[in-house]
Amino acid sequence: MKTLPSSLATEAVNPASAKIDELDPLGLVRLMNAEDARVATAVAAAEEAIARGIATVAARLAAGGRLIYLGAGTSGRLGVLDAAECPPTFSTPPGLVIGLIAGGATALTTAVEGAEDSPALAVEELTAVHVTAADVVFGIATSGRTPYVLGGLAHARSLGCTTIGLACTPEPELASVADEVIILEVGPEIIAGSTRLKAGTATKMVLNMLTTGTMVLLGKTYGNLMVDLKATNSKLLVRSRRLVALLADVSEEEAARLLAASDGELKTAVVSRIRGVEPPAARELLARAGGHLRRAIDQEQD
């Protein structure tokens, strides 16, 4: 079978899938699973760059900035998804992590012709969310050269923003407009150019690491428990009650009382019980600890 010439890793033809149209369903599954097994190795090779990204984003958010994702197609959808999952997971304000996709909300379900080729569109959308030098702009372009992403990163950098890029091809063009670059060399897709596959999976893994790592550094967890909760619905109320009971070593009835006295704030309720202080004093301890529950519990009394 002849191969299509391409200088881009994301457009290369995978010899392992040259006869994919001759495979039965089990053969397809085995082929895809074997190729997907390469993704974790590619992500592992970028661990240091990912860790630097986490440290950078955490520092900027702690200083009052935001994380803004930029991407087109699958890359943009993954950024929007990661941003959308931060508030319900970590109780972050909706505007703390923002996902911008070329073509806007319509592009989440329908291809918007030409949107990814417009650097000016990224500038417009960054301007609309009032980007400032305090923010981190994270450009996702598996090809490493999407004009929408390049234009957005260049504009963000000109404003003094911290810029990070993610690509699935070596020596990506976006390296010229990004302060940090995460390169995931996942190899050619089983369907040539279909970067929703390995490239998309690798991107999702990295975004999971980026925001989860950032939120852990910002004190959104205690051990592996999600503790930055405010009980705003019945499901969260039950979860909060159980967590307070576990962490403060009290009954669920007492946990409910502590939560009610703390306006539904889980961390406040736990600190109030363990430190033996009223909720206002517990909030002060948490503020002094930068929102970290463990530090608030362990810090010395004045």
Given 11, 47, 48, 85, which residue is catalytic? 85
Matching fold, domains 43-217 and 221-298:
no
CA–CA dist 267, 262 (Å, integer): 9
Nearest to 66 by CA among 7, 133, 116, 117: 133
Mean pLDDT over 53-81 rounds to 97
116 assigned to active site? yes
Percent of the chain with pLDDT over 70: 96
- Is it the case that residue 3 has pLDDT exceeding 50? no
At 205 the pLDDT is 98
pLDDT in tens, 86-129: 998 898 999 999 999 999 999 999 888 788 999 999 999 999 99
At 301 the pLDDT is 59
At 8 the pLDDT is 78
At 113 the pLDDT is 79
pLDDT in tens, 143-179: 999 999 999 999 999 999 999 999 999 999 999 999 9
Burial environment of residue 172 by CB neighbours within 10 A (0 to 12, 13 to 18, 19 or more) = buried
- Is it the case that residue 229 has pLDDT exceeding 90? no
Percent of the chain with pLDDT over 90: 83
pTM: 0.90
- Is it the case that residue 5 has pLDDT exceeding 50? no
What does the domain layout of the chain look like in residue ranges? 43-217, 221-298
Q: What is the CATH number of domain 221-298?
A: 1.10.8.1080
Q: Tell me if 140 sits within 8 A of 153, measured CB to CB.
A: no
Mean model confidence pLDDT for the chain: 93
At 1 the pLDDT is 42
- Is it the case that residue 261 has pLDDT exceeding 50? yes
Fold of the CATH domain 43-217: Rossmann fold (3.40.50)
Given 35, 116, 125, 180, which residue is catalytic? 116
- Is it the case that residue 253 has pLDDT exceeding 50? yes
